[in-house]
């Protein structure tokens, strides 16, 4: 029995593909998957499920992956004699495919030869099916359903579609216009999945709470005991930051519950004195502890227990999870010692490119292959993305120097090629490729080889207009080289062309200053600013009610998760304070959560708030809508001046209303407050949904955003203040440009003073000459 257990344990530690493949074989053997063709029936091994896997009891789900969802928006056009495309998708590590069905909606060119033209469908380089159409169906929209064997699937999958086209039995041009096949983006892959029961091993974390192969929003439930103090809630925030960093672009939504286990996976925080009723049977602990256990009421679910003798040990256990997960193994880990990483420096978030030095293009690429282009005719682009801090100052014609180096395969039509550069979908520069020689000598061939090996590079220097900068940016370098015309009936193999961006090309934004008009909710929505200035949130304080509701805690956890997702680093060094201790926040930026209950802090800060949303009443000052997205994208400065308003309106209403408001901190000038408010606890769900909804985040701007259902409206209520530093002459000119009348008066006064000085100098010079003449 001991040997058998060891072998099964080793089975679970095989590679993800091997494990998924073996589990699928086990399901086939036990009859839990639909039968496959007889060809596969002869190859079925008599495998058994790993220990602890009770698939018949676990729930399943069905997903539909359309081609549009897999990145082929607008459909796929395959051209030439051998056109192909690849679609990528992934599957969670705790799910296995029971059945799969591919529906293809496609149209073939009517000029194709039906006997020679076809479409091959591959999954992970396994041929699934070859499609051949009768001639009478060419040119007509068609659809077909193709069953796929579940054993072809892995964690990361590639669906490859290869088009083989011919239009004549004689000599043909590989790039002829009649060689095409169109695949609709409504084509879809339907998967029936079955959940797996994972072993209780902390080495699998962040599974099952998060899987990087899952593109859905990260949703996790947190459980704590009634009466939990601020330190316990801080521990929950640290875990939320760790999960938020994992989630990244997917977004987060965390739900807090008191003394009640969730209906699925959950994370539980408990001390020896304060535990949810379902966990009171656990033995007491004396050191910070992390333990992964089965959910007592849901067979398919897991609970991650964050345990400690007291709340201080809870925080230590949470910090250990955030910074030391790589060393975890087994179902329980205790923390003997913990050394936290050094404090982060300003603007060094992993998701942001460096702003204090030139950045190599290699740093922007996911892998070296992203900088390479290849084909018999080049009409493709290297697409890179770069994320920047939201407070870069791009006023008054600032530019970004780019040193672009590239290689390409020269041929007899290279002179017709072109390189084009787009930045955030805006055309910036283009230039023709260098002319190639008409005759190719052996020395020229050797020159081409050395050129490709890196001994000779084509180098271009140009400037990007800084006013196009956003928080998230796209940099597009397109290369177009037509295929050489080899003539009809040629027997020469067509040459594949290549082009590549050299990794040592650079982009330099170090000359841009950090300076921004606040409050700016767009900077908060897109980049978590001002809190994200320090990726570990060391200068952030979170204020929650003295008696927080679960909805308020859920909102605080979701906000911390979103801030960590924006920076790519778990922000664990924030300070969590109740309203009654707000004066301890000191020189920090404040994130405030209000659930609608009246409290002295908001009443005291009422004059600084652009709006106060409380239960049954909303106090609003006269507002103006901010300028539209076009003005924002053009970097028009809409924040430098606003007319002064007087008065205030108090509105009564019972419907749910939430708001995100920004204002200068009453505790410290130059510091910012972002308030997440609602007129009732349940309405805070509007804030949580809005923090990860792309449409809502795009509408957040100004200093006030009202959330009502799916609607989000933004306003500018108060005057702005400035955060950051500029050279004094730039700051003076920037402040004056918003006051044209004052600028004109200063210009006139300066002109008069200059005229008077010149006049006085000339009079003095004339007097001296007269005195010298008299002498």
Task: Give the 3-state secondary structure of 34-101.
Answer: CCCCHHHHCCCCCCCCCCCCCHHHCCEEEEEEECCCCCCCCCEEEECCEEEEEEEEECCCCEEEEEEE
Cα–chain-centroid distance for residue 298? 32
Strand order in the sheet with 418-423: 378-387, 472-481, 418-423, 426-432
Pair 470, 579 in one domain: no
475 DSSP β-pair partners: 384, 423
Asked if residue 21 belongs to a domain, the reply is yes
- Taking the C-alpha atoms of residue 189 and residue 148, their distance in angstroms, rounded to an integer, is 10
Pair 9, 63 in one domain: yes
Pair 659, 755 in one domain: no
pLDDT of residue 680: 86
**Structural domain of residue 33, as residue ranges?**
2-195
Asked if residue 348 belongs to a domain, the reply is no
Can you give the CATH number for the domain in which 53 is found? 2.60.120.260
- CA dihedral for 554, 557, 561, 566, sign (positive or negative): positive
Pair 17, 161 in one domain: yes
Place of tokens 């579609």: 161
* Token pair for 562: 């979103």
- Taking the C-alpha atoms of residue 146 and residue 129, their distance in angstroms, rounded to an integer, is 8
Nearest C-alpha neighbor of 347 from the set 531, 533, 473: 533
Pair 275, 413 in one domain: no
Q: What is the largest CA-CA distance in the chain?
A: 126
Q: What are phi and psi of 182, to 5 degrees?
A: -115, 130
**Triad 708, 711, 717: Cα angle to 5°:** 80
Asked if residue 660 belongs to a domain, the reply is yes
Q: Assess contact for 501 and 402: CB atoms under 8 A.
A: no
For residue 247, how many C-alpha atoms fall within 13 Å in the half-sphere facing its CB?
29
pLDDT of residue 270: 93
For residue 1, how many C-alpha atoms fall within 13 Å in the half-sphere facing its CB?
0
Task: Please tell me the total count of domains within the chain.
Answer: 5
Strands 332-334 and 458-465, bridge-based pairing: unpaired
pLDDT of residue 102: 93
Place of tokens 């007509």: 140
Q: Where are the alpha helices (DSSP H) in 454-575?
A: 521-527, 550-567
Q: Among the three residues 473, 507, 541, which one is the final residue of a domain in this structure?
A: 507
Distances (CA, A) of 377 to 413, 487, 492: 11, 15, 16
- Taking the C-alpha atoms of residue 141 and residue 449, their distance in angstroms, rounded to an integer, is 46
Pair 46, 141 in one domain: yes
Distances (CA, A) of 565 to 89, 168, 219, 460, 637: 22, 55, 14, 35, 28
Distances (CA, A) of 397 to 369, 466, 468, 634: 35, 7, 11, 12
Asked if residue 111 belongs to a domain, the reply is yes
The SS3 of residue 279 is helix
Asked if residue 568 belongs to a domain, the reply is yes
- Taking the C-alpha atoms of residue 284 and residue 34, their distance in angstroms, rounded to an integer, is 48
pLDDT of residue 490: 55
**Triad 615, 616, 622: Cα angle to 5°:** 100
Strands 617-620 and 611-614, bridge-based pairing: antiparallel
pLDDT of residue 122: 93
The SS3 of residue 773 is helix
Q: Assess contact for 169 and 87: CB atoms under 8 A.
A: no
Asked if residue 227 belongs to a domain, the reply is yes
pLDDT of residue 329: 85
- CA dihedral for 463, 469, 473, 474, sign (positive or negative): negative
pLDDT of residue 30: 46
pLDDT of residue 42: 28
Asked if residue 339 belongs to a domain, the reply is no
Pair 710, 757 in one domain: no
- Taking the C-alpha atoms of residue 316 and residue 234, their distance in angstroms, rounded to an integer, is 10
pLDDT of residue 327: 73
Pair 300, 162 in one domain: no
Pair 58, 166 in one domain: yes
Pair 66, 45 in one domain: yes
pLDDT of residue 37: 35
Peptide bond into 47 cis (omega under 30): no
Q: What are phi and psi of 739, to 5 degrees?
A: -125, 80
Q: Where are the alpha helices (DSSP H) in 425-484?
A: 442-453
List, for the chain, all residue ranges whose pLDDT scores fall below the cut of 70. Answer: 1-59, 325-326, 414, 435-456, 484-494, 611-654, 737-739, 775
Q: Where are the alpha helices (DSSP H) in 634-720?
A: 684-692, 694-699
pLDDT of residue 4: 29
pLDDT of residue 558: 95
pLDDT of residue 614: 64
The SS3 of residue 754 is helix
For residue 327, how many C-alpha atoms fall within 13 Å in the half-sphere facing its CB?
11
Pair 128, 168 in one domain: yes
Asked if residue 203 belongs to a domain, the reply is no
Pair 452, 570 in one domain: no
pLDDT of residue 455: 38
């Amino acid at each position: 029995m001991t040997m058998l257990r060891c072998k099964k344990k080793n089975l679970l530690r095989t590679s993800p593909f091997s494990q998924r493949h073996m589990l699928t074989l086990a399901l086939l053997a036990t009859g839990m998957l639909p039968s496959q063709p007889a060809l596969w029936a002869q190859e079925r091994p008599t495998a058994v499920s790993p220990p602890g896997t009770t698939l018949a009891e676990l729930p399943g789900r069905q997903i539909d992956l359309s081609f549009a969802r897999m990145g082929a928006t607008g459909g796929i056009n395959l051209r030439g004699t051998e056109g192909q495309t690849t679609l990528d998708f992934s599957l969670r590590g705790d799910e296995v495919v029971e059945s799969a069905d591919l529906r293809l909606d496609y149209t073939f060119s009517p000029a194709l030869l039906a006997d020679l033209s076809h479409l091959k469908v591959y999954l992970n380089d396994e041929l699934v099916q070859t499609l051949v159409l009768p001639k009478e169906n060419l040119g007509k929209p068609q659809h077909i359903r193709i069953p796929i064997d579940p054993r072809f699937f892995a964690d990361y999958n590639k669906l490859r579609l290869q088009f083989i086209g011919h239009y004549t039995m004689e000599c043909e041009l590989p790039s002829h216009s009649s060689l095409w096949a169109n695949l609709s983006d409504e084509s879809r892959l339907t998967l029936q999945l079955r959940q797996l029961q994972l072993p209780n091993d902390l080495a699998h974390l962040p599974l099952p709470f998060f899987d990087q192969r899952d593109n859905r929003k990260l949703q996790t439930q947190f459980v704590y005991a009634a009466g939990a103090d601020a330190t316990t809630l801080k521990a929950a925030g640290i875990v939320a930051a760790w999960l938020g960093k994992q989630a990244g672009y997917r977004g987060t939504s965390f739900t807090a519950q008191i003394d009640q286990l969730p209906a699925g996976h959950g994370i539980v925080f408990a001390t020896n004195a304060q535990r949810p009723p379902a966990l009171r049977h656990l033995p007491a602990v004396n050191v910070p502890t992390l333990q992964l256990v089965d959910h007592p009421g849901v067979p398919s679910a897991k609970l991650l227990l964050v345990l400690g003798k007291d709340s201080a040990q809870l925080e230590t256990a949470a910090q250990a999870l955030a910074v030391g997960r790589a060393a975890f193994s087994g179902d329980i880990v205790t923390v003997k010692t913990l050394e936290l990483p050094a404090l982060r420096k300003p603007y060094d978030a992993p998701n942001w490119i460096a702003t204090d030095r030139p950045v190599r293009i290699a740093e922007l690429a996911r892998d070296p292959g992203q900088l390479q282009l290849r084909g018999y005719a080049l009409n493709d682009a290297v697409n890179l993305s770069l994320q920047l801090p939201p407070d870069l100052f791009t006023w008054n014609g600032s530019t970004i120097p780019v040193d672009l180096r590239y290689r390409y395969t020269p041929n007899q039509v290279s002179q017709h090629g072109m390189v084009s550069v787009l930045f955030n979908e805006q055309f910036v520069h283009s230039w023709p490729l260098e002319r190639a020689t008409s005759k190719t000598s052996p020395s020229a061939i050797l020159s081409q080889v050395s050129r490709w090996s890196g001994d000779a590079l084509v180098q271009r220097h140009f400037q990007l207009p800084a006013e196009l900068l956003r928080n998230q940016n796209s940099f597009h370098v397109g290369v177009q080289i037509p295929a050489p015309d080899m003539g009809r009936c040629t027997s020469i193999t067509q040459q594949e062309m290549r082009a590549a961006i050299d990794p040592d090309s650079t982009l330099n934004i170090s000359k841009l200053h950090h300076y921004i008009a606040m409050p700016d909710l767009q900077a908060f929505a897109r980049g978590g600013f001002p809190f994200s200035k320090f990726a570990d949130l060391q200068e952030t304080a979170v204020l929650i009610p003295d008696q927080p509701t679960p909805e308020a805690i859920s909102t605080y956890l979701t906000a911390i998760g979103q801030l960590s997702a924006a920076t790519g680093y778990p922000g664990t060094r924030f300070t969590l304070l109740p309203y009654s201790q707000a004066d301890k926040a000191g020189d920090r930026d404040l994130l405030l959560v209000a659930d609608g209950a009246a409290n002295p802090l908001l009443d005291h800060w009422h004059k600084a708030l652009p709006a106060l949303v409380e239960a049954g009443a909303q106090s609003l000052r006269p507002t103006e809508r901010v300028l539209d997205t076009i003005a924002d994208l053009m970097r028009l400065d809409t924040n430098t001046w606003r007319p002064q308003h007087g008065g205030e309106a108090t509105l009564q209403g019972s419907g749910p209303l939430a708001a995100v408001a920004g204002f200068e901190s009453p505790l410290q000038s130059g510091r910012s407050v972002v308030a997440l408010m609602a007129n009732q606890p349940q309405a805070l769900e509007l804030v949580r949904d809005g923090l990860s909804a792309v449409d809502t985040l795009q509408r957040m701007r100004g200093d006030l955003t009202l959330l009502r259902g799916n609607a989000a409206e933004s306003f500018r209520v108060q005057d702005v203040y400035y955060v950051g530093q500029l050279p004094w002459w730039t700051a003076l000119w920037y402040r004056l440009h918003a006051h044209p009348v004052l600028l004109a008066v200063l210009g006139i006064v300066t002109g008069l003073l200059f005229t008077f000085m010149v006049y006085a100098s000339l009079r003095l010079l004339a007097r001296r000459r007269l005195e010298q003449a008299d002498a």
